[in-house]
Amino acid sequence: MSWKPGDRRRDTTSMIRVDQAGEFGATRIYAGQLAVMGHRTPAARKIAGMALQEERHRAFFDRMIAERGVRPTVLQPFWDVAGFALGAVTAAIGPDAAMACTAAVETEIDKHYADQLVELGGDDPELSEAIAEFQAEELEHRDTALASGAENAFGYPVLSAAIRLGCRVAIATAKRI
Ligand SMILES: [Fe+2]
Ligand SMILES: [Fe+2]
C-alpha cells in the first residue's frame, strides 16, 4: 500500500462526516429524552450535563465540515428524527432504559473513536486531539449511565444489543452517504 495524493484527505472527509452525524445524533437522542423526562429528576440532570458536552462535540465537527468543505451526511433529516425517537422511547420506558441507551451508544462510539485514532496516527493532530478528548467524555457518559442503573432496565441485554447494532449500522452508513 503506497500513499497517493488525496488519500488522507479522502479518509478524513469520511471520518468528519460520520463523526458529525454521530454527534448530531447524540444531541437529538438527549433532546428526545429530556423532552419526555423534563429537567428536574436526578437522571434528567445527569442527561442534561451529558447533552451539553455533546453540543460541544457537535459544534467542533460542524466547524470541521465548514472549514474543510466536507459534505454532511444526506441522512441528516433521518438521524434528526431517529435520534429524537430513540431518546423519547427509551425515556418513556423509564430512567434506567434512558441510561441503558447512553451506555449502549457510548460503548460503540468509544470503539469507533479508538479505531479512528489508530487510523489517523499522527497525520491530523487537530482532528485526533479533539477525538481523543471527546472519546474520554464519551467514556465518562458510559460510566455515568452504568452507575445510574442502566443495567437495571427491563430487557437490558436485548435493548442494549439492539441499540448497539443500530449504532454500528449508522456508523457504516454515514461513512459513505
Ligand atoms: Fe459526543
Ligand atoms: Fe456522549
Per-residue confidence (pLDDT) for residue 9, from 0 to 100: 52
Residues 6+ away with beta carbon under 8 Å from 64: 16, 19, 20, 70, 127
* Residues making up the chain, counted from first to last: 177
Give Cβ neighbours of residue 112 (< 8 Å, ≥ 6 apart): 18, 22, 171
Q: pLDDT, tens digit, for every residue of 154-165?
A: 999 999 999 999
CA of 3 to the centre of ligand 1 (A): 31
List, in sequence order, every beta strand (DSSP E) within the chain. Answer: none
Distance 101 CA to ligand 2 centre (A): 11
Residue 165 CA to ligand 1 centre (angstroms): 18
**How confident is the model over 90-112, as pLDDT tens digits?**
999 999 999 999 999 999 999 99
Query: What totals of helices (H) and strands (E) does the chain contain, helices first?
Result: 6, 0
Q: How far is the CA of 148 from the centre of ligand 2 (A)?
A: 15
What is the 107 CA–ligand 1 centroid distance (Å)?
Answer: 12
Could you read off the pLDDT of 33-53 as tens digits, one per residue?
999 999 889 999 999 999 999
**Could you tell me the distance, in angstroms and rounded to a whole number, from the CA of residue 24 to the centre of ligand 1?**
8
Distance from Cα 140 to the centre of ligand 1, integer Å:
11
User: What pLDDT is attached to residue 39?
Assistant: 85
Following DSSP, what letter does each residue of 65-106 receive, concatenated? Answer: HHHTTPPPPTTHHHHHHHHHHHHHHHHHH-HHHHHHHHHHHH
Separation of 1 CA from ligand 1 center, angstroms? 32
Question: With the C-alpha atoms ordered 88, 46, 55, 26, is the resulting torsion angle positive or negative?
Answer: negative
Q: Residue 105 in contact with residue 144, Cβ under 8 Å?
A: no
Q: What is the pTM of this model?
A: 0.89
